[in-house]
Structure 1
Amino acid sequence: MSDSLPERPDLGQLRRQAKELRDAARRGDTAAVQRFDRHHPSRPDATGLAAAQLVIARELGFASWPRLKAAVDAHTASCRQERAFVAASVEHRVRQAADLFRADPGIARGSLRAAAVLGEAGAVHEILATDPTAAIAIDEERGWPPLLYACYSRWHQIDPGRVPGMAEVVRLLLDAGAGPNTNDGGRPRYRSALRGSVEANNPALTEVLLDAGAHPDPGQPIAEAARHRDHRCLELLLSHGARVAGTWAVGAAVGNDDPVATALLLTALEPAAGGAGTTASQALPDAAAGASAEVVAALLEAGADPRATGADGLSAHRLAVRAGNDASAALLRACGARDDSSAVDRFLGACLTADCRAAEELLADHPGLRDQLTDQDRAVLVDAASRRPEALALMLGLGFAHDVRNDSGEQPLHTAAYHGNAAAVRLLLDAGAEVDARDARFDGTPLAFATVGSAEQAGTPGDWFATVRLLLDAGASREGVWLAGKPPSEEVMDLLRSYGVTPDAAPPDEATEQPADERTDSAEPLGAGVLGEVARHLDAACRDRDLDLLASLLHPEVHWTGVCHDRAQVLAWYRQTLADGTTPTLDSVEIDRDAVVLGLTLTRPAEGARPAPPQRIFQVFTVDGAQIVDIRGYPDRRSALART
């Protein structure tokens, strides 16, 4: 291939150039005629298209137009393969990345980003020696510089021997001018060099970035680190002063049932007066309901109040009993929690642990127990669908309805599918579960839950291949089940393709202009009365970034689901959000029933990468007695007004 080939050769453009050259020569244009004389002297009278194409080819170093065309076609195919390889390497499709590399081991030649994802330090050094500015060049596809490709690469998982080379590539890029805090400013999906290395669980890259001055907090990489059983990234972040307070890190460690990560995070909170105990108390109910006794013990050791209650008002002890976590319940009682469990709690615990004898004994001892079950109690079947199929079978046999829904509008089939619990899926389908039931939060089917879960729950017990096949064979709708933003695992991808299911269209970037059906005019009167007054104060607090005014509107025990539990935490969250560089723009204010609804556009500055689109959100502030008692966030106005 000639070195004169354009960087992005386009055969159509080259054909147009040939036509323009032909036409110019026929008009007698001196420069065009000279080009013909120089490259096609044997036929001075030939000025047709074929002759013009030969001139173009020879100017680019090729003996003929067919050879130029072949070179362009080869270059185009090579670029297509390089794009596919790089995309697979940073999108967790490790099998595809490995297959593409085996097919072309020289795929990194001439491509800085391909060399970066592979950790080919020698190739990176050569490219940067020729063009040092390539280290900070932003590509057209993702808007990423090479550093982000290096940090989001999964090649250390494919070939652990590449780790030293990947770390050296990051050093070379930093030395050439890439910034350790490179990021796209995205909300809610924030992509940065440090977050990428932590998400990919590459401690070697994480250490290089932190030592080079990467800020450990933006985007909460510590919460991602808390999800890994390998604690090296977590320890590195903590040793470089990463913030734990006000993050989701402890919740992530508890959700991952990791007592070591939980203890590490709580220890980091100890210097803050009461921080560890308060955070541990807030996490205790969830741990009692879903984590091991070792995690509960770590929380109690950090100062958690054994009498802590969850958002639903149930004590940690009751939640442990209801989940069948007897060891956790015993720990809580030993630390001072009272036994406030009921026969219903013990019955549900027996069901969830598939203890048929205990469940039947409780029913015999309490003849009216079934009638005492609330909707919340019956919805425990949704949790059972993620557990041992014996528990689900027992509960179905005891009369629990297969179509019950939890607070998110999910049915048991959604949960079973998401967790790849093929045996539970089979039980529910046999019991008459609707294969295309939609949940209230995402409007997704069980099959969509299964495809998303196959990637998000990778590494946990589950058989998503069998789950997806069961649902497809049961006649599940194939629409909207392969989400471009949340692709399935590679194994499930292959299965879907065998059934003729292809990816959904990639979601468009969030528009900066508000959709017509979401526009409201905040300039219109908000009405008199308490709600109108609160709405006007919220409007002013948001526009002026006035946290003192916001504080005056909040109830001391205001609750923000999944985020904050009181006024101090809400204010700390807003304060930290502003400190992290987020700029909120108020688009709309309206009153809906007992709440004020704010439409907001959130932006955050990018560094070294193309800025991500702004995030559009709606926050619902529920008011009671002139104070805000509850805050919830929604992605669009429709769901905000429906409160789903």
Structure 2
Amino acid sequence: MSESLPQHPDLDQLRRRAKELRDAARRGESAALERFVRHHRSAGGDTFGLAAAQLVVARELGFSSWPRLKDAVDAATAEARTVTAFVSASVEGRMRQAADILRTERDIARRSLPAATVLGDATAVRDLLAADPVAASAPDRDRGWPPLLYACYSRWHRTDPGRAAGMAEVVRLLLDAGANPNTNDGGRPRYRSALKGAVEVNNPDIVRLLLEAGAHPDPGQPIAEAAGHRDQRCLRLLLSQGARVTGTWALGAAVFHDDPVATSLLLDALATPTGAAAGPATEALPEAAANASLPVVEALLAAGADPLAADEDGVPALRLAVRAGKGDSAARLRALGAADDATEVDQFIGACLIADRPTVQRLLAHHPDLPDRLTQQERAVICQTAGSRPADTVALMLQAGFSPHARNSVGEQPLHNAAYLGNAAVVRLLLDAGAEVDARDDRFDGTPLAFATVGSREQADRSGDWIATVRQLLEAGADRRGVWISGKQPSEEVIDLLRQYDITPDRPAAPQPENASDLPDPAEAGELADIAVHLEAAFRDHDMDLFGSLLHPKVRWTGLCSSRTEVLDWLERILAEGTRPTVESVEVDRDAVVLGITLRGEGEGARPAPPQRIYQVFTIDGAQIVEIHGYPDHRSALTRT
């Protein structure tokens, strides 16, 4: 018997093999005795010990002794860890770590197909597939991903543009070898697929290859990711293949990112088949008036947006534009007939946001009580401003009567948002103004320092200075506990800084089970209890007719749908993609029914992602569901944050 060391050797498994051989030899089994005769002839009788059996196992694997076998296993294990760390860093965006490993392991692509795919080393991939053609579609042990997912989620084309052509060639090789262009892990709500990955990392060359090979453009809403890139190539490719816009957040993403080109492309796609662009454009107009530039507002108006549109609180778009200091957008809406009902408060806030000191001073001279007339919501404007505006703007707001202690609807103070977006100059300004360095928000119970560590990675595409931000907070005496959030790792640079201050990852808290005895009894909730029963049945049986009967015709599913038809269409498509919801809990809370739902996906070509729990809040009015919100955990569902 002779064999080679496995690709992923396990020393404990080899020890068990040696113990089994020893025991079999002591029982006199012929096969075991034959192995001893072949590899350790001097052993016998009482000498059938563990050491002798280990020597036999070592020699069967081509090693002269057990210690030499152990050294080889240790080396292979260390090498496997290095490869895993390199591949993980390459698809998770820790590119400095990946580059450091590559500098010391120049031949890493030759030792691992996933490593070769993330690097775009087409020669290595070609050779590895020639030796093992089945590997082109085989999920690996670490993530359960086949090579195609690694190729599509790799960020090396952004770090080293010279690798982009090789990465596209690798995808072509994998597809030619039988890889499925619709490969996905079935995850919900975090869905990973080849196409979604290529769009997320903005690799249009790979997006084109996948679409040409038959990748479906809709599952996982890659179009919403594409709409968030200032480069519209991926968006154009998806739209050219008929990607669905209705029922996605794509238009909202284009408006949020202030991209008039993407906005126009999406509106054109909405208008082409049904002429239905005016409704979505009207819905997006208030957000655009408040936060986007005039070209985005113009694109929405050109698509038929109603210039009289108002936000959910009934505030007209024109007033929102005035309050945001966007005089050009306000003038355009005014020219189209929108009533100019902006108040002195709106003008005051707008002037503050654009740091128009003369106008602020003039308004205060004529209306010295303006700061006292602000509502709590209006006072909270400084919270968002602290993250997105320069220090001069925030300084003017503080001088004009805004408070560094103001809180928005989720309990965030200005310092939270300034820290999250790495606005170091504003962080300094707020600390000097007496901001609470350890204030906690209501949604995450997080401090500004925790917001900064999370933002350093989540907002890495922005131009924030998180090193200066974190350093200022620490030097101001910020609490160091709970700032390294599990599952939300800081940027590599911030990790280095935290370690300089001896701050290491926090142990994640054990999940707290829901206590049903603390929840309201649905039987006592009357009409809502009846709706809860029907909702559970509809989800359990996937009964769209029953579910539809519970919906108001103009039900809103936040960020997704604005009518019963759209909601049912969206859910039917999710079910068709293989997602299976299971209701784990049902409760009545105030004016809503809250379902705890576990989502499972089947996956295609990859190991299915673990089931994920979400909470859906169905707000009831007049015995019908009028609004649907999704939340990641039970606490946020009950607090509606």
Query: TM-score, length-normalised on structure 1?
Result: 0.92
For 1:498-525, what per-residue CA distance to the aligned partner results, in whole angstroms no more than 9, with x for missing partners?
A: 22223345799x9xxx944258999x86
Which string of whole-angstrom CA distances, capped at 9 and with x for unpartnered residues, describes residues 586-643 of structure 1? 3343322222223323333211111122232222223333333333222333332333
Structure 1 distance, partners of 2:584, 2:605, is 28
Q: Which of 491, 515, 518 does residue 517 from structure 1 map onto?
A: 515
1:460 pairs with 2:455: no
Match of 2:451 among 426, 449, 452: 449
Equivalent position of 1:622 in the other structure: 619
Match of 1:470 among 469, 472, 495: 472
* Helix, strand or coil at the partner of 2:403: coil
- Which residue is 1:8 aligned to? 8
1:370: Cα distance to partner? 2.4
Q: CA deviation at 1:331?
A: 2.1
Cα drift, residue 33 of structure 1: 5.0
Distance 1:348 1:177 in 2: 59
Matched residue SS, 1:501: coil
Structure 2 residue runs of 5 or longer lacking an equivalent are none
Shift of 1:19: 5.3
| 1:114 has 2:115 as partner | yes
- Residue 155 of structure 1, CA deviation: 1.4
CA gap of 1:519–1:618, structure 2 versus 1, over 3 A, is farther
In the alignment, is residue 162 of structure 1 matched against residue 148 of structure 2?
no
Letter in 1 for 2:498: L
Three-state SS of the structure 2 residue aligned to 1:586 is: strand
Q: How much has 1:306 moved relative to structure 2?
A: 1.5
Q: Cα deviations across residues 347-394 of structure 1 (Å, max 9, x unaligned)?
A: 001111122221111011123322321111101111220211111111
| The 10-residue stretch of structure 1 (66-75 or 485-494) with the greater mean CA deviation from structure 2 | 66-75
Paired position in structure 1 for 2:249: 248
2:381 pairs with 1:384: no
Q: 1:322 maps to which residue?
A: 323
Aligned pairs for 1:431-580 (under 5 A) are 431-504=433-506, 515-517=513-515, 526-527=523-524, 529-580=526-577
| Structure 2 equivalent of residue 293 of structure 1 | 294
Deviation of 1:416 (Å):
0.5
2:219 is the alignment partner of 1:218: yes
Q: Does 1:585 align with 2:582?
A: yes
For 2:324 and 2:582, the matched residues in 1 are separated by 43
Counterpart residue number, 2:600: 603
Distance 1:61 1:520, change over 3 A: same
Letter in 2 for 1:405: R
Does residue 1:356 correspond to 2:349, yes or no? Answer: no
Flag the 1:613–1:194 CA change in 2: closer, same or farther, 3 A: same
Cα gap change, 1:433 to 1:24, in 2 (>3 Å): same
Give the whole-Å Cα distance in 2 for the aligned partners of 1:53 and 1:633: 57
Question: C-alpha offsets along residues 34-88 of structure 1, whole Å, 9 cap, x if unaligned?
Answer: 4444335588997666555444333222234443333222212111110110111
CA offsets per residue over residues 91-137 of structure 1, 9 Å max, x none?
Answer: 00111111111111111223111111112222222222232222222
Q: Mean Cα displacement is larger for which, 54-63 or 498-507?
A: 498-507
**Aligned with 1:6: secondary structure?**
coil
C-alpha contact 2:285 2:317 (8 A) present in aligned 1 = yes
- Paired AA for residue 133 in structure 2: P
Is the Cα contact below 8 Å between 1:521 and 1:588 reproduced in 2? no
Q: In structure 1, what is the Cα distance between the partners aligned to 2:248 and 2:509?
A: 28
Aligned partners of 2:12 and 2:591: how far apart in 1?
61
Please, which of 401, 406, 409 is the counterpart of residue 408 of structure 2? 406
Return the alpha-carbon distance in structure 1 between the equivalents of residues 404 and 235 of structure 2. 41
Give the structure-2-normalised TM-score. 0.92
Asked if structure 2 preserves the Cα contact closer than 8 Å seen for 1:378 and 1:404, the reply is yes
Question: Identity across aligned pairs (percent)?
Answer: 67
Question: Are 1:285 and 1:308, in contact at CA under 8 Å, matched by a contact in 2?
Answer: yes
1:619 aligned counterpart, secondary structure: strand
When structure 1 is superposed on structure 2, of 390-399 and 74-83 the one drifting more is: 390-399
Partner of 1:423: 425
CA distance in 1, matches of 2:593, 2:18: 64
In the alignment, the residues of structure 2 paired with residue 161 and residue 485 of structure 1 have an alpha-carbon distance, to the nearest angstrom, of 31
For structure 1, the 5+ residue unaligned runs are none
What's the CA shift for 1:231? 1.3
Cα distance in 2 for partners of 1:562, 1:281 equals: 14
Q: Are the equivalent residues in 1 in contact too, given 2:255–2:288 (CA < 8 A)?
A: yes
329-338 or 605-614, larger mean C-alpha shift:
329-338
Q: Measured at CA, do residues 279 and 623 of structure 1 come closer, stay the same or move farther in structure 2, by a change above 3 Å?
A: same
Shift of 1:260: 1.1
Shift of 1:567: 4.2
Q: Secondary structure of the equivalent of 1:134?
A: helix
SS at match of 1:493: helix
Q: Which residue of 2 aligns with 1:637?
A: 634
Alignment length, in residue pairs?
638
Distance 2:584 2:22 in 1: 57
Q: Distance in 1 between matches of 2:61 and 2:422?
A: 56
Deviates most, 54-63 or 10-19: 10-19
Aligned mates of 1:144, 1:346 — CA distance in 2: 54
- Secondary structure (helix, strand or coil) at the match of 2:171 reads helix
* Residues 16 and 558 of structure 1: CA distance in aligned 2, closer, same or farther (over 3 Å): closer
The answer on whether the counterparts of 2:267 and 2:281 sit within 8 Å (CA) in structure 1 is yes
Maintained 8 Å contact 2:532/2:593:
yes
| Pairwise CA distance, 1:555 | 3.8
Structure 1 counterpart of 2:91: 90
What does the per-residue CA deviation read over 1:199-241, in whole Å, with 9 as the maximum and x for residues that have no partner?
1111111111111111000000011111111111111111111
| Secondary structure, aligned partner of 1:630 | strand
Q: What is the rounded CA distance, in whole Å, between the counterparts of 2:400 and 2:117 in structure 1?
A: 58
* CA RMSD in angstroms, aligned pairs only: 2.8
Structure 1 residues 568 and 23 mapped into 2: Cα distance closer, same or farther (>3 Å)? closer
